[in-house]
Amino acid sequence: MLKVTARAHTNIALIKYWGKADQQLILPANSSVSLTLDRFYADTTVGFTDQPGPDRFVLDGRLQDAAATHRVHAFLDLVRQQAHIHGAARVSSTNHVPNAAGLASSSSAFAALALAASRAAGLSLDPTALSRLARRGSGSATRSIFGGTVIWHRGTDDASSFAEPVTTAPNLDLRMVAILIDAQQKDVSSRNGMARTVATSPYFPVFTATAERDSQAMVAALAAGDLEQIGELTERSALMMHGATLAAQPPFTYFAPATLAAWAVVRAVRAGGLPAYVTMDAGPNVKVLTDATHVDAVVAGLRAQLDNELVVCAPGPAARILTTTEE
Ligand code: DP6
């Protein structure tokens, strides 16, 4: 059996994907832009046996039951179809996150799985084809095939919906500081949360139209190295996404009280003259966008007022193969 291990890094959206135009193909309602991070990643090993049968999926050392394996199994079926093979898969995945507080992500998980499984199945996909494949596992995984700043073009069909790197100005060196906040209650999954938002939130059309325009504006701001514009667009996209969840039926939010408290501290740090801009995803953690020049001062400003664990991230690399072994 050919066993392939791949590593893919988590990305955080600067312009959010929060709604599908096609649930089956995972085509997004709007394009989105992200930053791949160095500190958070998944390592995934895949091998295919010669015989059909149930796939085996071990996550962080624990064998997963049929329900937990279902999404991985459905994804592996796509790989088997493309490669014209039928054997059951052996999958083992480890999340590398400094602390388990909601930082393990489907973006790194499905990007690593797409790369490892396609290679183990004998396919040699180019980055665009890999990005399209990863998309079928989880939308945000489309972007984790690439390092640094990335745009996911929403596209109109399976062939045209993929990600690619975005060129940034040479002087731009982004940093993202994750402020870890304990989840008190179980989150609504991003899959269910965005479906509810699309179906019921009157703010969704405004969110998605703005995100489409802002994705283009973000590409221009990254090329120009305009940190203020990058930061303002980042905050607006996150807050519009979270505004749209508040207006859904039934309404919901990922914000915990500590999320608002951390956001207030970031505003104070910015009022003190430092570039620091928030973004939040489908959980209570707050991430602060800044650059390499200012990150130490931003961290000092946050530490002065917050007890939370902080993780400073730089841009991370593209998904890659770590090992290939024949057993
Ligand atoms: C808030 O990629 O987890 O992180 O496509 O249903 O698997 P599915 O959703 P997922 O959603 C990510 C939502 C987000 C914003 C983003 O990454 O753009």
Query: Which pLDDT tens digit goes with each residue over 274-325?
Result: 999 999 999 999 999 999 999 999 999 999 999 999 999 999 999 999 999 9
**Structural domains for the chain:** 1-327 (3.30.230.10)
What does the pLDDT read at residue 105? 87
Angle 317-323-327 (CA atoms, 0-180°, nearest 5)?
160
What does the pLDDT read at residue 183? 72
The Cα 179–Cα 288 span in angstroms is 8
Please indicate whether residue 13, judged by its CB atom, sits closer than 6 Å to ligand 1: yes
Residue % of the chain over a pLDDT of 70: 98
- Strand partners of residue 57: 91
Q: Once rounded to an integer, what is the mean pLDDT over residues 142-163? A: 98
Tell me if 105 sits within 8 A of 178, measured CB to CB.
no
What does the pLDDT read at residue 2? 97
Please indicate whether residue 290, judged by its CB atom, sits closer than 6 Å to ligand 1: no
Residue 89 in tokens: 């898969």
Please indicate whether residue 191, judged by its CB atom, sits closer than 6 Å to ligand 1: yes
The Cα 72–Cα 76 span in angstroms is 6
Please indicate whether residue 287, judged by its CB atom, sits closer than 6 Å to ligand 1: no
Residue 133 CA: distances (Å) to CA of 25, 38, 80, 125, 140: 10, 22, 12, 9, 12
Q: Once rounded to an integer, what is the mean pLDDT over residues 152-170? A: 98
What does the pLDDT read at residue 123? 98
Residue 282 in tokens: 């489908």
Residue 228 CA: distances (Å) to CA of 135, 148, 232, 260, 276: 30, 18, 6, 22, 9
Residue nearest atom 1 in ligand 1 by C-alpha distance: 281
What does the pLDDT read at residue 100? 54
Q: What is the mean pLDDT of the chain?
A: 96
Tell me if 140 sits within 8 A of 134, measured CB to CB.
no
What does the pLDDT read at residue 101? 58
User: Which of 24-33, 116-125, 186-195, 211-220 shows the lowest mean pLDDT across its residues?
Assistant: 186-195
Which helix or strand (DSSP H or E) is residue 90 part of?
A: strand 89-96
Radius of gyration for the chain, computed over Cα atoms and rounded to the nearest angstrom: 19
pLDDT at 210 over 80: yes
Q: Is 258 helix (H, G, I), strand (E, B) or coil?
A: helix
Which helix or strand (DSSP H or E) is residue 326 part of?
A: strand 320-326
Residue nearest atom 7 in ligand 1 by C-alpha distance: 138
Ligand 1 atom nearest residue 12's Cα: 17
The Cα 163–Cα 205 span in angstroms is 23
pLDDT at 225 over 90: yes
What does the pLDDT read at residue 126? 98
Distance 151 CA to ligand 1 centre (A): 14
Q: Once rounded to an integer, what is the mean pLDDT over residues 262-280? A: 98
Please indicate whether residue 17, judged by its CB atom, sits closer than 6 Å to ligand 1: yes
Ligand 1 atom nearest residue 137's Cα: 7
Query: Which pLDDT tens digit goes with each residue over 92-142?
Result: 999 998 755 567 789 999 999 999 999 999 999 999 999 999 999 999 999
Please indicate whether residue 234, judged by its CB atom, sits closer than 6 Å to ligand 1: no
ipTM comes to 0.99
The Cα 171–Cα 15 span in angstroms is 21
Residue 146 in tokens: 């690439």
Query: Which pLDDT tens digit goes with each residue over 24-68?
Result: 999 999 999 999 999 999 999 999 999 999 999 999 999 999 988
Q: Where are the alpha helices (DSSP H) in the chain?
A: 66-83, 106-120, 127-137, 190-200, 204-224, 227-246, 257-271, 295-305
pTM for the model stands at 0.97
What does the pLDDT read at residue 185? 65
